C-alpha cells in the first residue's frame, strides 16, 4: 500500500520516495512508490502532474491501495527519487474542490439536496444535485458561498474513530474509506462536514472567488457550472472585456447593453421581415413577366434556398408546367425545381442529379438540391429533354 502524503498535507509538493517497481505501460511507464504526494484521479478531481526523478508524471491512478504514476521515462526499482508536484495545478484543483464543498453544503442546508456528481474540468467545474434549483435560487446560493469564502473558515482533515462516526452527521456521495477502513472527513468551520478523498485549501479565503457560470436540468435535478480562484477571476476579466467591447460597438453604457442588444435584435427582425416582403414582391413581378410560358429555366444571382423555392413556385402559379431556378457560381449551383399540372418534379430531379453530380429531393410539386456543373451543362440537360421547347423561355 502506498503512503499518501497528500491526505494530511495538501500543500506538500516536494518529497522523496523509493521506487518499488517500474513497468512498461501502454503509453510510457507505470511507477509505484513507497510514498507519494501525487494525488491520483478520484472523487471528481483530476490527477496531479509534475516530475518524478527525471521523468514527467502525466497521469496518476489508484488501484488496490497502490498509487500508480504514469511517466514518460523509466525509473530504476529500488532507487530513491525526488518528486515535485505541479504546484500551480495542485492549488487550482484545491480551490475548485473546496469551492464545491462550500456550495454543496449550502444547497444541502437550504434545500436538502445531495451532491450526486462532481467533476473538475480544465476550465469549468460541474456539480450535480438531486433536486431542481431556479436561477434565482442559484444566484442567492452563489452570494452565500462567497460570503463563506470571505469568512475565511478553517478547513481541516480528520479520521474519526468508528464510534465517533456513528454519531456524526456528515455529507457523503458514497462510503469513502481507505483499505484500513478509515473514513476521511473534511470539515469547513461551522459550515460543512463531508467525507472526501480530495485535496483542499486550509482556509476558505484561499478560494478567492466562486463564480457560477450556468446551470441546466440534469437527470431530474440540476447541473451547476462553476469556476473558483484564479479561474473565476480570469473568466470575469474576459467577460468584462467582452461586455466593454459590445458596449462600445453599441454606443451604450455597460448596464444598458442587454437592452441595446434586444433593440438591435428586434430592429434586425423587422428589417429581415421587410426585406423578405420586398423580395417576395420582386419575385412576384419577375414571375409575372414569364406568364404563359410552359417551361422556365433561369439562373439568378444571390438567391437563398427559401427564395429559390418561392420563385420556382411563383413561376408555376403563373402558368409554367416546369420551373427550374438556379443560383450560385459556375461549377456549383443550388436549385429548386417545381412542377405544375400532372408533372412530377422528382423523376426529372433524379435524372438531373445523376447526370450533373447533384443531390437533393422533395415532393412531387417541388424538389431542392445542388448540382456540380456549369450553366451550359444544366441548360443542355433541359434542352435535350425538351424543357426549352418554348423559344421565349429564358436560360
> Do 174 and 64 lie in a common domain?
no
Q: What is the mean pLDDT of residues 116-131?
A: 96
Residue written as grid cell 433593440 = 263
Q: By residue range, what is the domain housing residue 232? A: 91-236
CB of 373 closer than 8 Å to CB of 335: no
Domain boundary among 85, 118, 134: 85
- Whole-angstrom distance, CA of residue 382 vs CA of residue 386: 6
pTM (global) more than 0.95: no
**CA angle, 48 then 49 then 54, to 5°:** 140
Question: Residue 16 belongs to a domain with what CATH number?
Answer: 2.40.30.130
Q: Quote the number of domains for the chain.
A: 3
Question: Would residue 271 count as lying in a domain?
Answer: no
Q: What residues pair up with 129 in beta bridges, in sequence order?
A: 115, 222
Shared domain for 113 and 191, answered yes or no, is: yes
CA 90 to chain centre: 24
H/E segment holding residue 50 = strand 50-52
- Check pLDDT > 70 for residue 344: yes
pLDDT, one tens digit per residue, over 205-262 is 999 999 999 999 999 999 999 999 999 999 999 998 988 888 888 888 888 888 889 8
The predicted pLDDT at position 177 comes to 54
Task: State the average pLDDT over residues 106-121.
Answer: 96
Q: pLDDT band for position 395 (50/70/90)?
A: very low
End position of a domain, from candidates 236, 260, 278: 236
pLDDT at 174: 54
Percentage of the chain surpassing pLDDT 90? Answer: 70
**Mean pLDDT of all residues in the chain?**
91
Whether residue 150 sits in one domain with residue 48: no
- Smallest CA-to-CA distance from 158 within 115, 114, 106, 193 is with 193
Residues 167 and 65 in one domain: no
Q: What is the CATH number of the domain that holds 314?
A: 3.10.310.40
pLDDT digits (tens, 9 = 90+) for 151-166: 999 999 999 988 888 8
How would residue 374 be classed by pLDDT, with cut points 50, 70 and 90? very high
Whole-number percent of the chain with pLDDT over 70: 95
CATH number at residue 230: 3.30.980.10
Asked if residue 158 belongs to a domain, the reply is: yes
Q: Does residue 73 sit in the same domain as residue 106?
A: no
Region 184-195: mean pLDDT is 95
137 and 59 share one domain: no
* Complete edge-to-edge strand list for the sheet that includes strand 155-158: 155-158, 185-188, 192-195
Q: Which residues contact 279 (CB under 8 A, 6 or more apart)?
A: 307
Structural domain ending residue among the three candidates 175, 208, 236: 236
Closest CA to 73 of 136, 30, 123, 116: 30
Amino acid at each position: 500500500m502506498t503512503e499518501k502524503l497528500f491526505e494530511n498535507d495538501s500543500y506538500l509538493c516536494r518529497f522523496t520516495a523509493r521506487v518499488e517497481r517500474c513497468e512498461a505501460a501502454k503509453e510510457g511507464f507505470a511507477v509505484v512508490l513507497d510514498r507519494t504526494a501525487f494525488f491520483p484521479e478520484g472523487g471528481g478531481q483530476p490527477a496531479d502532474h509534475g516530475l518524478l526523478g527525471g521523468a514527467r508524471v502525466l497521469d496518476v491512478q489508484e488501484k488496490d491501495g497502490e498509487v500508480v504514476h504514469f511517466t514518460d521515462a523509466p525509473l530504476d526499482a529500488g532507487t530513491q527519487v525526488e518528486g515535485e508536484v505541479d504546484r500551480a495545478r495542485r492549488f487550482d484543483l484545491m480551490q475548485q474542490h473546496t469551492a464545491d464543498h462550500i456550495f454543496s453544503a449550502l444547497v444541502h442546508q437550504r434545500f436538502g439536496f445531495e451532491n450526486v456528481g462532481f467533476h473538475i474540468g480544465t476550465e469549468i467545474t460541474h456539480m450535480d444535485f438531486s433536486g431542481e434549483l431556479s436561477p434565482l435560487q442559484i444566484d442567492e446560493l452563489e452570494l452565500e458561498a462567497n460570503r463563506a469564502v470571505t469568512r475565511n473558515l478553517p478547513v481541516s482533515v480528520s479520521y474519526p474513530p468508528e464510534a465517533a462516526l456513528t454519531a456524526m452527521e456528515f455529507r457523503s456521495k458514497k462510503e469513502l474509506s481507505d483499505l484500513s477502513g478509515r473514513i476521511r472527513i473534511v470539515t469547513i468551520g461551522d459550515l460543512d462536514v463531508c467525507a472526501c478523498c480530495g485535496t483542499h485549501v486550509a482556509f476558505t479565503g484561499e478560494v478567492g472567488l466562486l463564480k457560477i457560470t450556468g446551470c441546466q436540468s440534469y437527470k431530474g435535478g440540476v447541473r451547476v457550472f462553476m469556476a473558483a480562484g484564479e479561474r473565476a477571476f480570469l473568466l470575469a476579466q474576459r467577460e468584462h472585456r467582452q461586455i466593454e467591447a459590445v458596449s462600445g460597438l453599441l454606443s451604450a453604457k455597460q448596464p444598458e447593453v442587454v437592452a441595446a442588444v434586444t433593440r438591435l435584435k428586434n430592429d434586425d427582425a423587422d428589417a429581415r421581415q421587410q426585406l423578405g416582403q420586398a423580395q417576395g414582391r420582386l419575385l412576384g413581378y419577375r414571375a409575372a413577366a414569364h406568364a404563359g410560358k410552359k417551361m422556365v429555366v433561369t439562373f439568378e444571382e444571390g438567391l437563398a434556398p427559401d427564395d429559390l423555392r418561392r420563385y420556382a413556385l411563383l413561376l408555376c402559379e403563373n402558368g409554367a408546367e416546369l420551373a427550374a431556378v438556379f443560383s450560385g457560381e459556375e461549377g456549383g449551383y443550388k436549385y429548386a425545381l417545381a412542377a405544375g399540372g400532372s408533372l412530377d418534379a422528382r423523376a426529372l430531379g433524379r435524372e438531373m442529379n445523376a447526370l450533373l453530380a447533384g443531390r437533393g429531393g422533395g415532393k412531387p410539386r417541388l424538389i431542392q438540391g445542388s448540382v456540380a456543373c456549369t450553366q451550359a451543362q444544366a441548360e443542355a440537360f433541359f434542352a435535350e429533354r425538351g424543357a426549352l421547347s418554348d423559344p421565349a423561355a429564358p436560360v
